């Protein structure tokens, strides 16, 4: 007869490990991250999904393309994936993001999430544009108030001797002098070439760039605008080469007062030069232009910052030139910033752009604009950091810059993360407008949950009755194992909900119930193998470890297959199915923990008792091979 396996772990130690695991898990439940300010009862609540507690449903409508057509299916699906990434980056797990019709994307999340969802449909088109012109001295007071002109400290090796050696004496170290509410850009520095070397490197474009091609739709819009404001005034506005200075003659804008009645959509149809030069076109009209109004890379555009108009050059650096973005807390400056890392090609473009602003051509008007916006103190041109229609920052460039950059401004931890996520997860291929946000009731979900839990309770009750009837004392092992597995799963749900945003849905509950069936199967495998060992005439102490050694391989194989199926399903699925897969995989892993740390050691301890082999107590006594009687012999 073969010997039982040697070197079996002491059952008391395994149970102690399980107890320690429970202590750590429930310490996190009651006193872990995210519990501050919560009552003890509230700390036991897992994060529930949309179908259980209701939530928010927001609808985003895609803007028509320039040719008046709706976006194609490929663009809408790409936009759906990006919005889904943004929603999950906000800590909203189990969110449902679907395309509805040809133009709408619907986002559904559990709980009140209006504030979280308001930015996920924004285009997030990042552009770096040189400031070509700005609206006079009045703008200087608006954009650069004397009390709001901090200096953004360059990150990286700002004090490198090679970087300082090539900078003119007027600036001991390159820096980005910020202005207004937007903050500035601090970057890792690279050696700047001498003025003679850079004068011919990248010629600056003139302020009067070639007009962009005009589509038939835009021509129709401009014809309607011309009729609205008057052909004579429209032609006069077209001939303007610079904005009319109202500070010296407040009545100079009277001839153009009809332009003040234009809608933001009509203003958007005008050439950039007219948007900038006509004095009665206000920043309020410009700021309300449709989403994506100034996203075109190879055209000059007009934008505003705190009430001052700026004519911006073509975008020489764009969002796709940024490798990654992350929120960081600047200890030195005591503020939140968004750190940008450029791609290899992006670093070259950024260096060329800052070189162009640092050493402009003689006929470049950007220096005049910089002096107007700085109150006459600027000695180099400005580069505007534009997100969609908003000028986040317009720093003065005081060196040729490359490498890592920082966007600074009035950020807190939340807004810095939102901006970083918008940049990191890409620009949407189409622009969206949020058309509705409504609360979704969970009445149907609650009814389904109650029905499901009742069905599960009835099923588990029948399993328990059968287990106690068939296995008697061993039925208590099944019951306690399922109870411990359920407690581990519940604690894990609570902790995951607070730390990773995992939400429990009806599909997830279904996954947990299925896993309990898998756990019950593992009991049958073990106990039937144990009965076989006893039937062959082995003692209880010998049969338990032998049965465990043989059943263990089958149990591990079966659970491994379940876990692998759950992982694959989680990777390839979306929405509720992903929640089912996660719940199934999590509960199966925790069941294995209970198998090794409770079921086997408790069976080892029971095998040492006399009652274990009693047919009336355990039901295993009947499996012992009986000696043949004289009649049978």
> Is a pLDDT exceeding 80 seen at residue 416?
yes
Tell me the average pLDDT across 474-488: 85
pLDDT at residue 335, as a whole number: 87
pLDDT at residue 91, as a whole number: 60
Confidence of residue 493 (pLDDT cuts 50, 70, 90): confident
pLDDT at residue 187, as a whole number: 36
Q: Lowest mean pLDDT: which of 112-116, 160-164, 551-555?
A: 160-164
> Is a pLDDT exceeding 70 seen at residue 204?
no
Residue of 304 and 524 predicted with greater confidence: 304
Closest CA to 184 of 400, 426, 334, 382: 382
What Rg value do the Cα atoms of the chain yield, rounded?
Answer: 35
Which range of 424-428, 531-535, 613-617 scores highest in mean pLDDT? It is 531-535
Confidence of residue 224 (pLDDT cuts 50, 70, 90): very high
Q: What are phi and psi of 109, to 5 degrees?
A: -135, 155
Residue of 344 and 169 predicted with greater confidence: 344
Q: Lowest mean pLDDT: which of 363-367, 505-509, 599-603?
A: 505-509
pLDDT at residue 275, as a whole number: 92
Which range of 119-133, 176-190, 481-495, 531-545 scores highest in mean pLDDT? It is 481-495
Confidence of residue 263 (pLDDT cuts 50, 70, 90): very high
Query: How far apart are alpha carbons 605 and 337 in whole angstroms?
Result: 60
Angle at 59 between CA 54 and CA 63, to 5 degrees: 170
pLDDT at residue 622, as a whole number: 58
Q: Which residues pair with 305 in a beta bridge?
A: 308
Please, are residues 103 and 71 in contact by the beta-carbon 8 Å criterion?
yes
Which range of 176-180, 256-260, 453-457 scores highest in mean pLDDT? It is 256-260
Query: How far apart are alpha carbons 389 and 378 in whole angstroms?
Result: 25
CATH architecture of 11-47+442-623: Up-down Bundle (1.20)
- Using DSSP, state whether 227 is helix, strand or coil: helix
Tell me the average pLDDT across 402-421: 78
Confidence of residue 189 (pLDDT cuts 50, 70, 90): very low
Which tokens in the block code for residue 146?
A: 């004397």
Residue of 216 and 557 predicted with greater confidence: 557
Q: What is the DSSP-derived secondary structure letter of residue 546? A: H
Confidence of residue 230 (pLDDT cuts 50, 70, 90): very high
Please, are residues 576 and 570 in contact by the beta-carbon 8 Å criterion?
no
3-state secondary structure 309-323: EEEEEEEEEEHHHEE
pLDDT at residue 116, as a whole number: 63
Which tokens in the block code for residue 76?
A: 């809408």
Q: Which CATH number fits domain 55-121+434-439: 3.40.50.300, 1.20.1260.10, 3.40.50.620, 3.30.70.3400?
A: 3.30.70.3400
Tell me the average pLDDT across 312-333: 88
Query: How far apart are alpha carbons 395 and 175 in whole angstroms?
Result: 9
Query: How far apart are alpha carbons 105 and 231 in whole angstroms?
Result: 42
Q: Mean pLDDT across the chain, nearest whole number?
A: 76
> Is a pLDDT exceeding 90 seen at residue 271?
yes
> Is a pLDDT exceeding 50 seen at residue 38?
yes
pLDDT at residue 227, as a whole number: 92
- The domain locations on the chain are 11-47+442-623, 55-121+434-439, 126-208+293-409
Confidence of residue 123 (pLDDT cuts 50, 70, 90): low
Please, are residues 177 and 371 in contact by the beta-carbon 8 Å criterion?
no
Residue of 556 and 333 predicted with greater confidence: 556
Query: How far apart are alpha carbons 625 and 535 in whole angstroms?
Result: 5
pLDDT at residue 205, as a whole number: 39
- Using DSSP, state whether 183 is helix, strand or coil: coil
> Is a pLDDT exceeding 70 seen at residue 176?
no
pLDDT at residue 208, as a whole number: 42
> Is a pLDDT exceeding 80 seen at residue 449?
no
What is the pTM assigned to this prediction?
0.50
Please, are residues 415 and 198 in contact by the beta-carbon 8 Å criterion?
no
pLDDT at residue 45, as a whole number: 83
Which range of 51-65, 145-159, 180-194 scores highest in mean pLDDT? It is 51-65
């Amino acid at each position: 007869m073969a010997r039982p396996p040697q070197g079996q772990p002491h059952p008391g130690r395994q149970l102690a490990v399980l107890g320690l695991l429970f202590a750590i898990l429930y310490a996190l439940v009651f006193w872990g991250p995210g519990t501050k300010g919560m009552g003890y009862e509230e700390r036991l609540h897992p994060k529930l999904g949309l179908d259980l507690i209701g939530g928010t449903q927001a609808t985003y409508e895609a803007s028509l393309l320039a040719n008046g057509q709706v976006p194609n299916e490929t663009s809408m699906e790409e936009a759906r994936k990006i919005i889904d990434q943004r929603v999950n980056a906000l800590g909203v797990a189990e969110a449902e993001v679907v395309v509805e019709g040809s133009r709408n994307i619907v986002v559904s999340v559990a709980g009140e999430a209006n504030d979280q969802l308001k930015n996920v449909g924004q285009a997030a088109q990042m552009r770096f544009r040189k400031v070509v012109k700005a609206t006079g001295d009045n703008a200087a007071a608006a954009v650069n108030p004397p009390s709001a002109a901090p200096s953004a400290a360059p990150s990286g090796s700002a004090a490198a001797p090679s970087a300082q050696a090539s900078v003119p004496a007027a600036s001991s170290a390159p820096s980005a002098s910020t202005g207004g509410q937007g903050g500035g850009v601090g970057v890792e520095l690279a050696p700047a070439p001498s003025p003679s070397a850079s004068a011919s490197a990248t010629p600056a474009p003139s302020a009067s760039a070639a007009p962009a091609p005009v589509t038939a739709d835009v021509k129709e819009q401009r014809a309607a605008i011309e009729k609205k404001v008057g052909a004579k005034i429209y032609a006069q506005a077209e001939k303007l080469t610079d904005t009319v200075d109202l500070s010296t003659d407040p009545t100079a804008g009277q001839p153009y007062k009809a332009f003040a009645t234009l809608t933001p959509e009509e203003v958007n149809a005008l050439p950039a030069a007219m948007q900038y030069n006509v004095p009665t076109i206000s920043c309020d009209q410009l700021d309300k232009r449709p989403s994506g109004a100034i996203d075109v890379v190879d055209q000059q555009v007009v934008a505003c910052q705190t009430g001052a108009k700026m004519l911006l050059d073509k975008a020489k650096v764009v969002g796709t030139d940024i490798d990654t973005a992350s929120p960081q807390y600047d200890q030195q400056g005591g503020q939140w910033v968004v750190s940008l890392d450029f791609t290899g090609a992006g670093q070259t473009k950024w260096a060329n752009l800052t070189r162009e602003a640092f050493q402009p051509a003689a006929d470049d008007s950007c220096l005049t604009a910089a002096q107007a916006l700085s109150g006459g103190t600027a000695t180099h041109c400005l580069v505007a950091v534009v997100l969609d229609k908003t000028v986040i920052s317009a720093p003065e460039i005081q060196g040729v810059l490359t490498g890592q950059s920082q966007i600074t401004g009035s950020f807190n931890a939340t807004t810095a993360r939102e901006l970083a996520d918008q940049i990191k997860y890409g620009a949407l291929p189409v622009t969206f407008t949020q058309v509705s946000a409504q609360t979704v009731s969970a009445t149907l979900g609650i009814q389904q949950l109650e029905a499901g839990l009742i069905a599960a309770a009835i099923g588990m009750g029948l399993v328990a009755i059968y287990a106690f009837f068939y296995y008697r004392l061993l039925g208590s092992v099944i019951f306690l194992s399922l109870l411990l597995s359920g407690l581990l799963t519940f604690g894990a749900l609570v902790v995951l909900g607070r730390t990773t945003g995992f939400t429990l849905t009806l599909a997830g509950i279904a996954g947990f119930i299925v896993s309990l069936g898998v756990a019950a199967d593992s009991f049958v495998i073990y106990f039937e193998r144990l009965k076989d060992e006893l039937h062959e005439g082995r003692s209880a102490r010998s049969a338990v470890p032998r049965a465990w050694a043989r059943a263990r391989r089958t149990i591990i194989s079966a659970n491994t297959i379940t876990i692998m199926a759950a992982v694959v399903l989680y990777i390839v699925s979306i929405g509720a199915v992903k929640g089912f897969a996660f719940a199934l995989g999590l509960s199966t892993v925790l069941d294995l923990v209970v198998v090794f740390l409770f079921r086997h050691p408790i069976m080892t301890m029971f095998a040492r008792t006399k009652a274990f082999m009693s047919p009336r107590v355990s039901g295993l006594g009947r499996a012992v091979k009986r000696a043949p009687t004289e009649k049978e012999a």
